[in-house]
Amino acid sequence: MQIHPLISDLRLALKNRPRIVLVPTMGNLHAGHIALMTQARAHGDTVVASIFVNRLQFGPSDDFERYPRTFQDDCDKLAAAGVDLLFAPNEAELYPEPQEYYIEPPQIQHQLDGEFRPGHFRGVATVVLKLFNIVQPQVALFGKKDYQQLLVLRNMTRQMALPIAIVGGETVRADDGLALSSRNAYLSATERAEAPRLQHVLQRICSAVRAGEREFAQLEREAAAELDQHGWKTDYVAIRRQADLQPPRHPAEQSLVVLAASRLGAARLIDNVEINAGSGR
């Protein structure tokens, strides 16, 4: 695997490479990231991963300084997964001057996760567009665990007429159902044993909706209350349409998703489950 910290060197290495697939990451890789790398191979000939902890998407109260950085271990995992090139710039390389031009997503950036992390999706969209311009992939992969991020980036790519196919990778989970996340490392042993509850309450909402329950607001309130009763501090539990993450317009809507974000100790965990109501899926 080639490792390139410089934009100019990466562009030279990618010159005349066949169909390029990009998997952007912030490092501290786990099995969910590696699953995306493996999936990427099916979509092209040249797999490029990136590692960059993007300051622009962190708020003042976020964990930028303590975000886990495990570069050598990440390189070993990527090489074992068959990644061809790794782009690993530092801040001076990616932002050689103060970033004054931003991608401003529409209103969805202020809802759900955006309500609690102002400016987050603006920072994500800006760095991803920059990575797209540098790598010029034909395909890019992002995990479905960050469901709102996937929607924002997919819509940005379409509206900016970028010749890039956006592929969503399924969430990879531990045996007890907890979605794999770099921030799981913040959990104590007691908190780690409690953490699967987030997935369990979302699955119960799915089962209720599939069984015909349509009091969505009540389901959301009950789920948040259960989490908070067990020591969580819940930002939101929300049933939304998969297409645009807006509230369902009518009770009979079928392609829904339930999303949640809640803090457990020092870790803010997010998760989601797609609901195809009435389909039995």
Average pLDDT over the chain reads: 95
How many residues in total does the chain contain?
281
The two tokens of residue 138 are 């034909």
Q: Which residue numbers are catalytic?
A: 33
The two tokens of residue 8 are 């100019």
For residue 281, pLDDT over 60 is answered with: no
CB 82 within 8 A of CB 37: yes
CB 94 within 8 A of CB 130: yes
For residue 255, pLDDT over 80 is answered with: yes
Residues 6+ apart with CB under 8 A from 91: 55
192: enclosing H helix or E strand: helix 189-194
Question: What's this model's pTM, rounded to 2 decimal places?
Answer: 0.94
For residue 278, pLDDT over 70 is answered with: no
The two tokens of residue 63 are 């964990």
Residues 6+ apart with CB under 8 A from 46: 14, 17, 18, 19, 20, 21, 84, 85
| pLDDT for res 279 | 43
Amino acid identity of 30?
H
| pLDDT for res 63 | 84
For residue 209, pLDDT over 60 is answered with: yes
Model confidence over 14-65: pLDDT tens digits? 999 999 999 999 999 999 999 999 999 999 999 999 999 999 999 887 889 8
Model confidence over 99-121: pLDDT tens digits? 999 999 999 999 999 999 999 99
CB 39 within 8 A of CB 169: yes
